[in-house]
């Protein structure tokens, strides 16, 4: 019953239903407009479904395997790319992180403990939107609040995109191998950007969004899946842009 209620109150489902019904009604009077509205509703429904989001995300998220065991000797740094913030006064520091930043921080802590709490963690990322605070210091503050010792935490807050992140990492770490933590859908571009400037990252993807197992409920349009599809489409456009700019 709870699953049915969750689907019933999702505004995307109502939007898709209304577009499909309106398109069907318009077909009788204005065939061209009816087809346009109907196809728009069906496309929105497809992008907002579990299979639709999965088909877009899997090619990105399956490129690199999760880091489930230590990668060997000589790794002294874990680099975490910040993934957005939601700072506002009066909130706990953990509420100042976006979902992506929180997932990346959690993965960094897991890897840090897996490696015996020996490496240092470098948080990378400056201002994502004009007028907003830099992202990396917020994630670093959250790491400290969760018990990571100050001597194990550092950050860089000037780089504004993945290309600049890679340049900042090179300036800080030089040619040393490091573990790179970012969202699974973002990892292909992040690794390519690092390799393009001469770095050798060890991928530790996290925050996988593609549904692993599809149930009948996943075929019903939901806002969550539409957002996942939007993230994937944005990432494909970013990969194309980075190739045009010769950044990867």
Whose CA is closest to 189, among 232, 141, 137?
232
Q: What percent of the chain has pLDDT over 90?
A: 77
In whole angstroms, how far apart are CA 173 and each of 72, 78, 154, 170, 199?
Answer: 18, 11, 12, 5, 9
**Range of lowest pLDDT (161-165, 184-188, 212-216, 241-245):** 212-216
pLDDT in tens, 34-92: 899 989 999 999 999 999 999 999 999 999 999 999 998 889 999 999 999 988 889 99
Q: Where are the domains of the chain?
A: 2-61+218-244, 77-206
Would the pTM count as exceeding 0.85? yes
Q: What is the C-alpha to C-alpha distance for residues 93 and 165, in angstroms, rounded to an integer?
A: 23
Handedness of CA 201, 206, 210, 215 (dihedral sign): positive
Domain boundaries 77-206, CATH class: alpha beta
Name the token pair of 100: 């992506």
1 has a pLDDT exceeding 70: no
In whole angstroms, how far apart are CA 168 and each of 108, 180, 232, 244?
Answer: 19, 13, 25, 21
**Coil, strand, or helix at residue 128?**
coil
Give Rg (Cα) of the chain: 21
Average pLDDT, the chain: 93
Model pLDDT, residue 4: 65
A 10 A CB-CB count for 81 gives 28
Helix %, strand %, coil % for the chain, to 5? Answer: 55, 10, 35
Q: What is the C-alpha to C-alpha distance for residues 45 and 40, in angstroms, rounded to an integer?
A: 9
Q: Looking at beta carbons, which pairs linking 62-70 to residues 24 or more positions away fall under 8 Å? A: 63/187, 63/188, 64/184, 64/187, 64/188, 64/191, 64/203, 64/205, 65/203, 65/205, 66/204, 66/205, 66/206, 67/111, 67/179, 67/202, 67/203, 67/204, 67/205, 69/114, 70/114, 70/115
3 has a pLDDT exceeding 70: no
pLDDT in tens, 183-237: 999 999 999 999 999 999 999 999 999 998 999 999 999 999 999 999 999 999 9
Model pLDDT, residue 15: 92
């Amino acid at each position: 019953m709870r699953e049915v209620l969750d689907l019933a109150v999702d505004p995307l489902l109502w939007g898709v239903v209304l577009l499909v019904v309106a398109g069907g009604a318009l077909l009788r009077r204005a065939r061209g407009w009816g087809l346009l509205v109907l196809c728009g509703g069906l496309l929105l429904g497809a992008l907002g479904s579990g299979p639709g989001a999965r088909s877009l995300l899997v090619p990105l998220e399956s490129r690199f395997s999760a880091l489930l065991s230590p990668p060997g000797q000589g790794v002294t740094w874990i680099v975490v790319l910040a993934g957005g913030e939601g700072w506002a006064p009066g909130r706990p520091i953990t509420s100042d992180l976006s979902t992506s930043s929180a997932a990346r921080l959690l993965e960094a802590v897991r890897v840090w403990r897996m490696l015996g709490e020996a490496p240092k963690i470098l948080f990378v990322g400056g201002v994502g939107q004009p007028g907003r605070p830099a992202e990396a210091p917020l994630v670093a503050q959250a790491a400290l609040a969760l018990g990571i010792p100050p001597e194990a935490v550092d950050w860089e807050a000037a780089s504004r995109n993945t290309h600049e992140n890679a340049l900042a990492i090179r300036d800080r770490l030089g040619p040393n191998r490091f573990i790179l933590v970012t969202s699974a859908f973002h990892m292909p571009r992040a690794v390519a950007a690092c390799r393009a400037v001469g770095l050798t990252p060890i991928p530790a993807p996290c925050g996988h969004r593609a549904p692993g197992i599809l149930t009948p409920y996943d075929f019903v349009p939901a806002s969550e899946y539409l957002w996942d599809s939007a993230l994937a489409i944005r990432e494909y456009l970013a990969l194309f842009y980075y190739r045009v700019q010769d950044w990867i």
